Amino acid sequence: MAKLTGDTESGVLTLRVARYNPEQDEAARPQEWKVKILPGMTVLDALFAIKEEQDGSLAFRCSCRMGVCGSCGMFINGKPRLACNTQVSELGSVVEVAPLPNHDAIKDLVPDLSLTFSRHRAVLPYLMRRDTAEMESPTREYHQTPEELARYVQFTYCLKCSLCLAACPTAATKEQFLGPQALGQVYRYVADSRDEGLAERAGVVDASHGVFGCHLAGACSEACPKGVDPALAIQLLKRSLFSGPPHRSAAQVVPAFPEGHQTPEAAVRPKAPPPSV
């Protein structure tokens, strides 16, 4: 192995990137660049510095640059992280970057997330109700208390960045495993008091490649950049498969406002004068 080089004190960072060009390469090949460290520099900033000043052919995916879109997931110094959310100052003088593990690499650091998205779709990630007529053309609102919201709101922060799948040891060996992202989102809907779709979703996840493929290594929750904690969601989902969802009955529809209610704006707003002819 080559000697690690680079020095944060001298303000220079060595970036070692696993590169892959589908037209030339059969395996990933490492390439090194040196980048001048700037205050507040993230790994994504360093990659942009390389792309703009040293090698325009370097491919990576990003969008928001502030940890919201989940596009720039990479394997940085042995852990899946968002490149835009990771300061180079916390990584040392040499940073090793590779595409997300347990995914296919399209080119350089661009992972193929289509499997993650298709698995997400496979677990029916939407509210399911028995009153389909009300669902299709709603007349009123579904009632939900703040306590009921707290049961699942943590899991709604999922970016679908697939870092959890890259960290999961089960996904490393079991290709059919649905993975922490999709399974966590199942519980997000199962725990929603407006939902009645546990039985339908159980048909998808009650299997060895589903919820029981999780052996509680906890790596997914460590890798999650938004504190979604998929490991917690999956264990609570297992419990729900045995004992039902955390809410006893589905949320009822309620009128948005009581009969005869007038919004404050409507009450205060002066009436327009009658049109003068």
Partner 1 sequence: MATQVKVPTQEAVPPRLSMRLGLRGWVYAGRYPAERYLYILHRLSGLGLILYLPLHVWVTGRRLQGPEVWQQTMAVLSRPVFVAGEMLILAAFVFHAFNGFRLLFGHLGCALGKPAHPVYPYPVALHRQRSMTVALMVLASAFLAFGVWNLLTK
The reply on whether position 97 binds partner 1 by CB under 8 A is no
Distance, CA of 77 to CA of 95 (rounded, Å): 6
Q: Which of 46, 91, 167, 183 binds partner 1 (CB under 8 A)?
A: 167
Distance, CA of 88 to CA of 91 (rounded, Å): 5
Give the tokens for residue 205: 């996840």
- Shortest separation between residue 277's beta carbon and partner 1, angstroms: 58
- Shortest separation between residue 242's beta carbon and partner 1, angstroms: 8
Q: Are 87 and 42 in contact (CB under 8 A)?
A: yes
The reply on whether position 103 binds partner 1 by CB under 8 A is yes
From first CA to last CA, the distance across the chain in angstroms is 90
Q: Which of 33, 48, 60, 152 binds partner 1 (CB under 8 A)?
A: 152
Q: Which is nearer to partner 1, 4 or 153 (CB)?
A: 153
The reply on whether position 217 binds partner 1 by CB under 8 A is yes
Q: Are 227 and 154 in contact (CB under 8 A)?
A: yes
- Shortest separation between residue 5's beta carbon and partner 1, angstroms: 21
Distance, CA of 27 to CA of 37 (rounded, Å): 30
Residue 70's closest CA among 202, 176, 195, 162? 162
Q: Which stretch binds partner 1 (CB under 8 A): 4-12, 41-49, 195-203, 218-226?
A: 218-226
Largest CA distance in the chain: 90
- Strands 94-98 and 73-76 turn out to be antiparallel
The reply on whether position 48 binds partner 1 by CB under 8 A is no
The reply on whether position 185 binds partner 1 by CB under 8 A is no
Distance, CA of 164 to CA of 223 (rounded, Å): 6
Instruction: Give whole-number Cα distances, 9 to 36, 98, 135, in Å.
Output: 11, 25, 60
Q: Which of 20, 48, 60, 177 binds partner 1 (CB under 8 A)?
A: 20
Q: Which of 7, 112, 141, 148 binds partner 1 (CB under 8 A)?
A: 112
Distance of CA 258 to the CA centre of its chain: 39
Burial-class residue 127 by CB neighbours within 10 Å (0-12, 13-18, 19+): middle
Binding mask 64-83 for partner 1 (x = CB under 8 A): -------------xxx----
The reply on whether position 158 binds partner 1 by CB under 8 A is no
The reply on whether position 153 binds partner 1 by CB under 8 A is yes
The reply on whether position 209 binds partner 1 by CB under 8 A is no
The reply on whether position 198 binds partner 1 by CB under 8 A is no
Q: Which is nearer to partner 1, 186 or 233 (CB)?
A: 233
Chain residues binding partner 1 by CB under 8 A are 20, 22-23, 25, 27-28, 77-79, 98-106, 111-112, 150-155, 157, 167, 169-173, 175, 191, 215-219, 221-222, 224, 226-229, 231-233, 235-236, 238-239, 242
